[in-house]
């Protein structure tokens, strides 16, 4: 188990007790899914607990740092920069990329469903 999971169980954290919590897949430089990022910010703190596996070097790390809406950090081993952006912004960027590549309307609808399923799977609590 990870440090965040242990913290949640030890302090009996519920979604109401969190300012922010997410568990997402990471993306490497080639934009392929690899690694993951989990961030927890309890309401009683302004410090974010970050647990991650770097998508570039596969280093598993944990760090604590001040929470900010524009949240980004670097891998402790290879210094690869990872950011945790709003899910809506990610979906919007993906849709714009699909439009640029000429994806048809039927395929776009299928992609939209896949994106929604991923958001539900990765979303906060």
The whole-angstrom separation of Cα 56 and Cα 14 is 32
Instruction: Look at 56 and 32; give whichever has higher pLDDT.
Output: 56
Residues 87-112 have pLDDT tens digits of 676 677 777 777 777 655 445 567 77
Beta strand 47-53 with 33-42 is: antiparallel
pLDDT at 71: 86
Give the total residue count for the chain. Answer: 125
Rounded to the nearest angstrom, the gap between the alpha carbon of residue 97 and the centroid of all alpha carbons in its chain is 19
pLDDT at 6: 93
The whole-angstrom separation of Cα 30 and Cα 99 is 19
Residue 77: pLDDT band with limits 50, 70, 90: very high
- The backbone region for 63, taken as left when phi is positive above 0, alpha when psi lies in -120 to 50, beta otherwise, is beta
Average pLDDT over residues 76-90: 83
Kindly report whether the global pTM for this prediction surpasses the value 0.85: no
Q: Are 82 and 74 in contact (CB under 8 A)?
A: yes
Give the start-end residues of each E strand in the chain: 18-27, 33-42, 47-53, 60-66, 71-74, 81-84
pLDDT at 116: 74
Mean pLDDT across the chain: 83
């Amino acid at each position: 188990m990870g440090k965040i999971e242990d913290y949640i169980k030890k302090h009996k954290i519920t979604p109401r007790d969190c300012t922010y919590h997410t568990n997402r897949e990471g993306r490497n430089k080639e934009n392929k899914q690899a690694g993951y990022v989990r961030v927890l910010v309890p309401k009683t703190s302004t410090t974010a607990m970050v647990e991650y596996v770097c998508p570039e070097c596969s280093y598993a790390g944990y760090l604590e740092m001040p929470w900010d809406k524009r949240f980004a950090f670097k891998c402790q081993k290879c210094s690869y920069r990872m950011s945790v952006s709003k899910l809506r912004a990610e979906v919007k960027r993906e849709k714009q990329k699909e439009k640029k590549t000429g994806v048809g309307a039927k395929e776009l609808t299928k992609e939209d469903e896949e994106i929604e399923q991923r958001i539900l799977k990765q979303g906060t609590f």
